[in-house]
Amino acid sequence: MNPALTARKVEFRYGDRDILRGVDIDLFPGEVTVLLGPNGSGKSTLIKILSGVLSPRAGDVLLCGRPPRSFPRREMARLLSAVGQDPPVDFPMTVEAYVALGRFPHQGFFGGTTSEDREQVARALDLTELAALRGRALSEISAGERQRATVARAIAQGATVMLLDEPTAFLDIRHRVAFYEVVTRLAETCGVAALVASHDLSLCAEYGERIVLLSDGAVAAQGRPERVLTPENVRAAYGVEVACDRNPATGAIRVTPLRARPPGVET
């Protein structure tokens, strides 16, 4: 199967600092890829490059075979949706109106709303459990609710590639699980190719078919969760000791941080 989005040997600098070094990534239709990596490892920068917000210094990004920046804005928005790391706070609009912004690439230049638009907005609100909050102002809901609104907006957009930058950062465990359920369902039923930047090591192992571990701007490991989530890889990338075993209930890899022991204390 051809990847929906592919990056080859991507390099990026801020000033004279190397931020991304030779990054390769492929996103396939129907697959959820989880992008792991410590703070500052380059996840957000990579997502901005994949979505065409930033241009790589070297290397290639191809969305459906073309550079992202070569698409007209609406066409691009029908193919790719991106959710940034910081949910908007000061948009003076309701949750529903904000989610409906996701429909702009499907509307005519005069912005007429169709029943399809209304259905897709209602579906996105349902999937993110926001229907009851649809009339509330974006500035008058919690950070987690606002984060779900950004995901709802991306779902309403109906793009085939979804790039989500730490979409679960503010979510409680119930809504974290719900997020991964929804993104997996979109992949399985609509063929969406999703990239989710995350710090949910164990949770993403339950859902992510493929994990890309970024460390200091380079791909340290990528592949199935059992291949990527090893104590050696986690220690090298995050500098913490963890135990990696299998969740007895599901068989998925489970990552548990180990408490640091003061020097000289015997176990």
Ligand X SMILES: Nc1ncnc2c1ncn2[C@@H]1O[C@H](COP(=O)(O)OP(=O)(O)O)[C@@H](O)[C@H]1O
75 CB neighbour count, 10 Å cutoff: 13
Report the alpha-carbon distance of residue 172 to residue 141 in Å, rounded.
Answer: 15
**Cβ atoms 212, 25 nearer than 8 A:** yes
The residue whose two tokens read 């369902």 is: 185
162 CB neighbour count, 10 Å cutoff: 26
For ligand X, the binding residue among 33, 41, 51, 157 (CB under 6 A) is 41
Asked whether position 6 contacts Mg ion by CB under 5 A, the answer is no
Least separation in angstroms between residue 213's CB and ligand X is 11
| Nearer to ligand X (CB atom), residue 43 or residue 148 | 43
| Nearer to Mg ion (CB atom), residue 44 or residue 128 | 44
Binding mask 6-25 for ligand X (x = CB under 6 A): --------x----x------
Query: How far is Cα of residue 20 from the mean position of the Cα atoms in its chain?
Result: 18
Asked whether position 150 contacts Mg ion by CB under 5 A, the answer is no
**Cβ atoms 99, 156 nearer than 8 A:** yes
Whole-number Cα distances in Å, 24 to 3, 58, 63, 208: 12, 12, 14, 18
Asked whether position 45 contacts ligand X by CB under 6 A, the answer is yes
Part of the chain binding ligand X (CB under 6 A), chosen from 35-43, 143-151, 167-175, 201-209: 35-43
Part of the chain binding ligand X (CB under 6 A), chosen from 42-50, 92-100, 109-117, 154-162: 42-50
For Mg ion, the binding residue among 41, 44, 51, 198 (CB under 5 A) is 44
| Nearer to ligand X (CB atom), residue 42 or residue 102 | 42
Asked whether position 39 contacts ligand X by CB under 6 A, the answer is yes
| Nearer to ligand X (CB atom), residue 94 or residue 233 | 233
| Residue in the shown chain whose Cβ atom is closest to Mg ion | 44
Asked whether position 41 contacts Mg ion by CB under 5 A, the answer is no
Least separation in angstroms between residue 97's CB and ligand X is 29
Segment 82 to 121, residues that bind Mg ion, using CB under 5 A: 85
* Paired strand residues for 61: 7
Report the alpha-carbon distance of residue 165 to residue 170 in Å, rounded.
Answer: 12
141 CB neighbour count, 10 Å cutoff: 19
CA quadruple 103, 104, 110, 113: dihedral, nearest 10: 10
Part of the chain binding ligand X (CB under 6 A), chosen from 3-11, 34-42, 70-78, 243-251: 34-42
| Nearer to ligand X (CB atom), residue 87 or residue 102 | 87
Q: What number of chain residues touch ligand X (CB under 6 A)?
A: 10
**SS3 category, 107:** coil
**Cβ atoms 49, 27 nearer than 8 A:** no
* Paired strand residues for 66: 63
The contact set with ligand X (CB under 6 A) reads 14, 19, 37, 39-45
The contact set with Mg ion (CB under 5 A) reads 43-44, 85
